Amino acid sequence: MSGHRANSLNLWWTTVPPAQQWRAEPCLALLDSGERERARRAVKARHRQRFLVAHAGLRMVLAHHLDVAPKEIALRRGACPLCGLAHGKPQVIGHESLHFSMSHSDDGVLFAVYDGAVGVDLERYPPREDSAQRLGRYLHANEQRLLAAAPRHERDAAFLRFWLRKEAYLKAIGVGLAHGITPGNVDIESVPGWRTLSLTVPAGFQASAVVAADSAELLSIRHTLLAAPGSDSHVG
């Protein structure tokens, strides 16, 4: 694979540009009919722009790793590990062994490519002040104990770390909150065969990754900045 090294977590970052510096057509040209329809249904123009930049950007990242043109990337959903229906992890048709994940929050978009199963989650930082109070009940009992022991002024940030890892893990195994998973049943740190990583991302965000790993061998982490598709700064 072009641009891919063994035992490496390849991270890509892009930022959704201001509307006046962006064009939808280059993004739309890369997406399939289902994604274009999802974008069309977005009520707010900014939400539509974020969706288009994220999904076009994903094709650019995958194309780089496969050494093909972005327009050649065709995606489908794999089988759900719980029910077997086709709403599991996204896959590149013809390259199902390529593992990847994507997350976007506000105007930030994070992509990851890895040798094995991977999930990433990105959120705005700092979180809402009432995050721990509103959603803390969804944490595993072990996480709730650690959260309760944290100084009060650190609890919202501590909650966000737990939540990021939980979301990333659910993406890595190919299920999610929308598929009936109860977050409180998952204690990531006690699940064998997985590693959790706090990622370095631009200021104003916090992110985590969960990767399949049978040992504590040090991972190589490579960061790449991606010009937002459709932006004036994008070339190619």
pLDDT tens digit string along 110-135?
999 998 999 999 999 887 777 767 77
pLDDT of residue 188: 76
Q: What is the pLDDT, as a whole number, of residue 213?
A: 83
pTM: 0.90
- Judged against a pLDDT cut of 80, whether residue 149 lies above it is answered with yes
Long-range contacts of 179-184 (CB under 8 A, 24+ apart): 179/80, 179/82, 179/87, 180/82, 182/138, 183/138, 183/139, 183/140, 184/137, 184/138, 184/139, 184/140, 184/141
Domains of the chain: residue spans and CATH: 8-125+193-225 (3.90.470.20)
Identify the residue with better confidence: 152 or 55.
55
Q: Concatenated DSSP letters for 21-59?
A: GB-SHHHHTTS-HHHHHHHHH-SSHHHHHHHHHHHHHHH
| Residue whose entry in the numeric block shows the structure tokens 């890369």 | 30
Is 176 or 35 the better-scoring residue by pLDDT? 35
Instruction: List, for residues 181-233, the tens digit of each pLDDT value.
Output: 555 567 777 788 899 999 999 999 999 999 998 655 667 899 999 999 998 75
Mean pLDDT of 7-25: 93
Token reading at 54? 């994220």
pLDDT digits (tens, 9 = 90+) for 62-102: 999 999 999 999 999 988 887 888 888 999 999 999 999 99
Secondary structure (DSSP) of 93-132: TTBTT-EEEEEEETTEEEEEEESS-EEEEEEESS--TTHH
pLDDT at position 216 is 59
Residue 126 preceded by cis peptide, ω within 30: yes
Q: Please say if the pLDDT value at position 235 is more than 70.
A: no
